[in-house]
Amino acid sequence: MERYVLANQASAIGAQTAISVPLTTLEDPGVLRSYQASVSTGGSATVKVQATNDNKSWLTLGTITLTPSTLSDGFSSAVPWIFTRANITAISGGNVDANMTIWTRGK
């Protein structure tokens, strides 16, 4: 399992730096990506997970809304985008920590 950090204790809204996953990892058709966002200190945040293959035209894969009663949430996708980023569109009362984990299913 490989772990890529999209945002680490981000405290302001805006798109974070995009990350690129090595193509050798993505060539397996069984690749599954798990996107997880969490907030610390009981804050609230809205995080859009965005992806692109050209690092220019961003698509929103999903939106994760976090509150003091939902400190962590996420989703998975089997689509191997080359570039991925976290776009924090709202934040209040704490810091956001968004992580992406990629693993390949057994054949």
| pLDDT confidence of residue 14 | 92
On whether the pTM is more than 0.75, the answer is yes
Give the pLDDT confidence score for residue 55 in this predicted structure: 94
CA–CA gap between residue 106 and residue 81 (Å, rounded):
20
Nearest residue to 80 via CA among 102, 56, 57? 102
| pLDDT recorded at residue 3 | 77
pLDDT at 9: 80
pLDDT tens series, the chain, 107 aa: 677 788 888 888 899 999 887 655 555 555 677 888 888 777 788 999 999 999 999 999 999 998 888 888 989 887 778 899 999 999 888 666 665 566 544 33
pLDDT on residue 52: 93
For residues 102 and 84, the answer to whether their CB atoms sit within 8 Å is: no
Handedness of CA 97, 63, 93, 12 (dihedral sign): positive
> At 64, which helix (H) or strand (E)?
strand 59-66
Predicted pLDDT at 79: 76
